[in-house]
Amino acid sequence: MSKENQWIAGINAVAAAVEHDAGNVREVLLEAGAKNPRIAEIETSARRKDIDVRRVAQNALDGVAGGLRHQGAVARYAAARTWGEDALPGLVEAAGGKALLLVLDGVQDPHNLGACLRSAAAAGVTAVVIPKDKAVQVNATVRKTSAGAADSVPVVRVTNLSRTLREVQKLGVWIYGLAGDAGASLYALDLRGNVALVLGGEADGLRRLTREQCDQLVTIPMPGMDAQGVESLNVSVAAGVTLFEAVRQRLG
């Protein structure tokens, strides 16, 4: 698991870090005199977990937050929780034939990645896979946007995405890529077993090498849209639609 020091800002982000990963929270700074009851809850929870807590002036929080909206709560955090690619086989095996992977091929916007992580956490995914290069990483903005999901979903960073997909196939995982020019519908798939759902980045969609590793390319039917298909949707919206079709089938 990789680690790096960073400041995270905002009530949801700080509360999630304290709740889910207290061992990596170095200190919590809270606004002196703040009336928001959630600030008091964060302080109580942090002190209970032996995290250093300081009440400071708002201008001190402004300086530490570096322009992020802090809502009176900032934390110095020692880890961006990400897993190495060697963790994937164990995660898939532990899922007992029901692995659900979300693979993001080059998402650039931290808000989109954060929203994808929220959907992934709600859907109970096994892991989210992202490339180390030419894609946004789990930074402070992603953590805040994810509203705690970045702490609860395994995010696996890989060096070579197409090679990782080949290795995942060897583990018995079916790989389905979302593409606007695909002829088959997402809703025609059987998504109840070991499945990886692959979505491209905001600008160009799936890269060629990624497309070639997919067992099948499918699209989300959109009667109100033109033939551009899934690229017409925000990537986080497409991720939510796709993941919850898998959830629907698995619960059905």
In tens, the pLDDT along 21-47 reads 787 789 999 999 998 999 999 999 999
| Predicted local confidence at residue 24, as pLDDT | 78
Residue 190 has pLDDT above 80, yes or no: yes
Residue 109 has which token pair?
A: 């916007």
191-218: pLDDT as tens digits? 999 999 999 998 888 999 999 999 999 9
Rg (CA), the chain: 19
Separation CA 135–CA 142 (nearest Å): 12
In the chain the domains, ranked by start, together with CATH numbers, are: 6-77 (3.30.1330.30), 83-251 (3.40.1280.10)
In the structure, what pLDDT confidence band is assigned to residue 72 with cuts at 50, 70 and 90? very high
Nearest to 121, CA basis, from 94, 141, 148, 143: 148
Tokens 């197409």: give the residue: 162
Average pLDDT over residues 173-192: 94
Binding residue ranges for S-adenosyl-L-methionine: 200, 220, 233
pLDDT exceeds 60 at position 157? yes
Confidence of residue 233 (pLDDT cuts 50, 70, 90): confident
Least confident of 73-77, 157-161, 231-235: 231-235
Residue numbering of the annotated binding site: 200, 220, 233
**Total-model pTM:** 0.76
Q: Which of 29-38, 59-68, 115-124 has the lowest mean pLDDT?
A: 59-68
Q: Is the pLDDT of residue 4 over 70?
A: no
- Residue 231's pLDDT is 54
